[in-house]
Amino acid sequence: MEKIITLDQSSVVGVYGKNNSNIDLLRHIFPKIKITARGNEIKLHGEEYEINQFENRLQLIVIHFERFGKVNENDILNITASEDDSFYRMDKNGLEDDIILHGRDGKIIKAITPNQKKLVESVAHNDMVFAIGPAGTGKTYTAVALAVRALKNKQIKRIILTRPAVEAGENLGFLPGDLRDKLDPYLQPLYDALWDMMPMPKLLSYMEDKTIEIAPLAFMRGRTLDNAYVILDEAQNATEGQIKMFLTRMGKNAKFFITGDLTQVDLPKNQHSGLIQASKILKDIKGIDFIFMTNVDVVRHPLVTKIINSYDKWESDRIKPIQS
């Protein structure tokens, strides 16, 4: 069958992309359809089912452009790969609900993928949330944004950010300086997220009076964390004992947010990831939720998604049993 889709003239340049780059990408994603774009009309030739799929995804791309004012390659890859289009079809009048907070210099920080939105919703209903998935899916960034919002709204009194100090192929002992000097570079991703969300003088003030604390996981032992938003980042590198120790630090009026990537465990071979164990033991407890991010949620450079997919395929092929 053939079909012609007419776009609003004001959307054409944004939806088509520079030099029709977005249309070229859609041709690659929908190879069974002949796609011709002229002016504000897109002419399609192919099987009815394929054309209906294309039209459905194109509608979501247009909605995305109307909401955010831009559409890039990663947006198109996310939209066309997503099985749940309810997030993308959300009424524009509800857009403000997507905003987590306004960061430094008025930067709008919001959930921009379906699973990021699930994280935001889950934190509203659960006191302990695990976000598990590949690099670049916004797990830590979303967690820090939610923590800063809770602090600004006076829902909690302090933010505690922690990571297990595991040497990911590097030896911290050879870094110059005292313990803090050695650990600061390791904790840098947490600083980077905070710097996006509040002015530097305010952040330094909060860190000075311990309203915001960033410390290695070992520093949590023996403490009770009340009135706090506590984030354990890179939890796949916490041992089974460390995870149990951390989770039992939870005090009154506390939110615990645990992030990790099960494909990047840097523990010695004789130690097991506590995150894997926790995902099995705690999955049925009310008040604890697990959100599993996917490659579709990657919000870094579009190449990151391709890199993750290629590694996943290589790993899958590598462990396939040899056919006799």
Per domain, the residue ranges of the chain are: 2-81, 96-316
Consecutive H or E run containing 14: helix 12-16
Q: What is the mean pLDDT of the chain?
A: 83
pTM: 0.65
Residue 106 pLDDT more than 90? Answer: no
Residue 50 pLDDT more than 70? Answer: yes
Between residues 60 and 183, which one has the greater pLDDT?
60
Token duo for residue 167:
């040497």
Q: Which residues contact 309 (CB under 8 A, 6 or more apart)?
A: 295
Q: What pLDDT score was predicted for residue 84?
A: 61
Helix, strand, coil share of the chain (percent; to 5): 50, 20, 35
Consecutive H or E run containing 122: helix 114-125
What is the C-alpha separation between 227 and 159, in angstroms, rounded?
9
Q: What pLDDT score was predicted for residue 266?
A: 84
Which region among 104-118, 191-205, 298-312 has the lowest average model confidence (pLDDT)?
A: 298-312
Q: What pLDDT score was predicted for residue 247?
A: 95
Please, which residues bridge with residue 231 across strands?
161, 257
Q: What pLDDT score was predicted for residue 249?
A: 94
Is 3.90.180.10 the CATH number for 96-316?
no
Count CB-CB contacts under 10 A for residue 3: 15
pLDDT tens string 268-320: 888 889 999 999 999 899 999 999 998 777 776 667 767 877 887 887 777 66
Classify domain 2-81 at the CATH class level.
alpha beta
What is the C-alpha separation between 34 and 170, in angstroms, rounded?
51
What is the C-alpha separation between 273 and 241, in angstroms, rounded?
9
Q: What is the mean pLDDT of residues 218-239?
A: 92
- The SS3 of residue 232 is strand
Q: What pLDDT score was predicted for residue 174?
A: 46
pLDDT tens string 134-188: 888 889 999 999 999 999 888 999 999 998 876 444 444 444 455 555 556 667 7
Token duo for residue 91:
């009424």
Closest CA to 198 of 106, 113, 62: 106
Please, which residues bridge with residue 35 across strands?
44
Report the largest interatomic distance among the alpha carbons of the chain, rounded to a whole angstrom: 70
